[in-house]
Amino acid sequence: MTGKQIAIRTRGLRKAYRVYAHAIDPIVEVIRRVPRHTERVALQSIDLELKRGEIVGVLGRNGAGKSTLLKIIAGTLERSSGDLEVNGRITAILELGTGFHPDYTGRENIFMGGLCLGMSKAEIESKLDSIIDFSELRDVIDQPFKTYSTGMQARLTFATAISVEPDILIVDEALSVGDARFQMKCFGWIQRLKQKNATILLVSHDTNTITTFCDRALILEGGRVFAEGEAGPISVVYHNLLFGKLEVPTAIEPEAAPPPELEKSVSQVAVESAGTFEPPAGDVAPKVRYGTGEGRLLDWGIFDEHGRRATLLNSGGSYRFSMRLRCDGDIAALSCGFAIKDRRGTVVWGATNLTSQGVPWQARAGDVLTIACDCKMWLAAGDFFLTLGAAHLHDGAKIDFVEDAIQFRVVGTHGAFTTALVNLESEIVISSEREDVARVSGAVGGC
């Protein structure tokens, strides 16, 4: 890959801080030339390569090294060792309001922030109105920055930073405090920036954001790259890293028959539906299973209104998601549920017994619970994945969770865009108050 195609490249990047037990130790160390410090390694052997035009997400727990990496790439922090190559004009939004003075007005901070980004005063003046309009803060632009809410500060910070139209944009959780409308506006701008072949490095704890907007993602853990790859699978690995406490075999095979309550409705409940969808080889997302081991899911499935297992679902049809959980220990507050993801791994729907009934379930060791969710399949045509599992309510610790347990396909959507995500069974009717309006069918000639 040529240098022109590379926006950011790191090789063996390392950052370590010296930690002293006493304030005088640095002076003693210099005078006696004897080490009086220990090292805290924040980054170790980071190898990355980001192409032009990519949006790359960065996931990781607090203290994993995300902010340290971004600051080194942005040039605000020196690396201890390793190589760093950055090709292009870079803009970084690392912390809310970075470089903005709390006592200055919003307008004054635009000028100060713009100068810090390398713009001339004349360039800032030419872009001033567009910055203010993007931030939607014209009514308060001449008030002190410290009087702004965190969301308002995020708006002004982002609007100023993007005004330089950078080749590389680094965003570190700066948009998480903005309202939904402004976030969507910012991400729309990020997509347009990508179309101009810019590179975006986006840090977020929201896996939906990562799977929706990023081409690929990486996870930092303990100052190292723990995993990297396509955004969808990496978000699953991240959930496993956060909540997985016990390795459970990933070869998923149901251990028993379908839930008992379905046996009464049909005689061949285990018979696969005639319309079963078999995903092509290589197109099935890998199942990842994890949990504390206090319980185990025995089986699960999607069933149609006749009680037959189904993976080919008709949009608008009635279906039941079901799973059985064996409790191997007492669980004071149990939360069980299902979630549907699209092909990128973005959660498009989810529900638990808490969202449905508002109360947790108290389980005892030896209980075998059937968890069922009846629903109308209002998704539009497409391929989706069903994730399911059980967790402790109070701390979110996963008891047994299976990511992408079932891949299914929805068919039968009519009257909606082929790119639509949901089916509203809509019908558009055009009417006029004029009685003599001609109704034209078929081809209409151009003028």
Largest CA distance in the chain: 101
User: What six digits make up the tokens of 238?
Assistant: 């991240």
Average pLDDT over residues 408-436: 81
Q: Please determine, for residue 445, whether its predicted confidence score (pLDDT) is greater than 50.
A: no
pLDDT above 70 covers a percentage of the chain that reads 84
Q: Please determine, for residue 94, whether its predicted confidence score (pLDDT) is greater than 80.
A: no
82 lies in a domain? yes
Residue with more model confidence, 277 or 27:
27
Nearest to 341 by CA among 437, 267, 233: 233
433 lies in a domain? no
Three-class DSSP category at 188: helix
Nearest to 202 by CA among 184, 188, 214, 186: 214
196 lies in a domain? yes
281 lies in a domain? yes
Maximum average pLDDT range among 2-11, 90-99, 360-369? 360-369
Q: Please determine, for residue 24, whether its predicted confidence score (pLDDT) is greater than 80.
A: yes
CATH of the domain at 219: 3.40.50.300
CB atoms closer than 10 angstroms to residue 415: 11
425 lies in a domain? no
Residue 350 to residue 337: CA distance in whole angstroms? 7
**Is residue 226 located within the same domain as residue 297?**
no
**Is residue 49 located within the same domain as residue 169?**
yes
pLDDT above 90 covers a percentage of the chain that reads 43
Residue with more model confidence, 30 or 281:
30
pLDDT tens per residue across span 349-371: 999 998 887 788 999 999 999 99
**Is residue 208 located within the same domain as residue 62?**
yes
**Is residue 226 located within the same domain as residue 273?**
no
Three-class DSSP category at 107: helix
**Is residue 214 located within the same domain as residue 261?**
no
Nearest to 230 by CA among 405, 43, 404: 404
Average pLDDT over residues 89-99: 74
Last residue of a domain, one of 199, 218, 241: 241
**Is residue 228 located within the same domain as residue 299?**
no
Query: Helix, strand, coil: what percent of the chain each, to 5?
Result: 25, 35, 40
pLDDT at 298: 94
pLDDT at 363: 92
User: What six digits make up the tokens of 133?
Assistant: 């309009």
Alpha helix ranges (H) inside 171-254: 180-195, 207-213, 231-243
Residue 141 to residue 123: CA distance in whole angstroms? 19
434 lies in a domain? no
**Is residue 234 located within the same domain as residue 298?**
no
* Cβ atoms 37, 14 nearer than 8 A: no
Q: Please determine, for residue 440, whether its predicted confidence score (pLDDT) is greater than 60.
A: no
Mean pLDDT of the chain: 82
Average pLDDT over residues 140-162: 89
**Is residue 237 located within the same domain as residue 366?**
no
Last residue of a domain, one of 188, 220, 241: 241
- Residue holding tokens 């690396």? 79
Of 91-95, 119-123, 195-199, which gets the smallest average pLDDT? 91-95
What's the structural domain count of the chain? 2
Last residue of a domain, one of 217, 241, 265: 241
Q: Please determine, for residue 324, whether its predicted confidence score (pLDDT) is greater than 90.
A: yes
User: What six digits make up the tokens of 435?
Assistant: 């009685």
Average pLDDT over residues 197-203: 91
**Is residue 8 located within the same domain as residue 57?**
yes
User: What six digits make up the tokens of 306?
Assistant: 């006749």
**Is residue 74 located within the same domain as residue 99?**
yes
Residue 279 to residue 309: CA distance in whole angstroms? 15
Residue 18's DSSP bridge partners are 39
pLDDT at 178: 61
Q: Please determine, for residue 258, whether its predicted confidence score (pLDDT) is greater than 50.
A: no
pLDDT at 60: 92
441 lies in a domain? no
User: What backbone phi and psi angles, to 5 degrees, belong to 322?
Assistant: -145, 145
- Residue holding tokens 């030896």? 366
CATH of the domain at 388: 2.70.50.60
Average pLDDT over residues 247-253: 39
- The domain in which residue 134 lies consists of 3-241
Three-class DSSP category at 131: helix
* Cβ atoms 100, 157 nearer than 8 A: yes
**Is residue 64 located within the same domain as residue 158?**
yes
**Is residue 213 located within the same domain as residue 278?**
no
443 lies in a domain? no
Could you tell me the pLDDT band of residue 32, with boundaries at 50, 70 and 90?
confident
- Please report the DSSP string for 390-440 in residue order: EEETTT--EEEEEEEEEEEEEE---SS-TT-SB----------S-TTPPP-
pLDDT tens per residue across span 96-146: 656 689 999 999 999 988 888 788 899 999 999 999 998 889 999 999 999
Could you tell me the pLDDT band of residue 95, with boundaries at 50, 70 and 90?
low
Vertex 187, ends 185 and 189: CA angle to 5°? Answer: 70
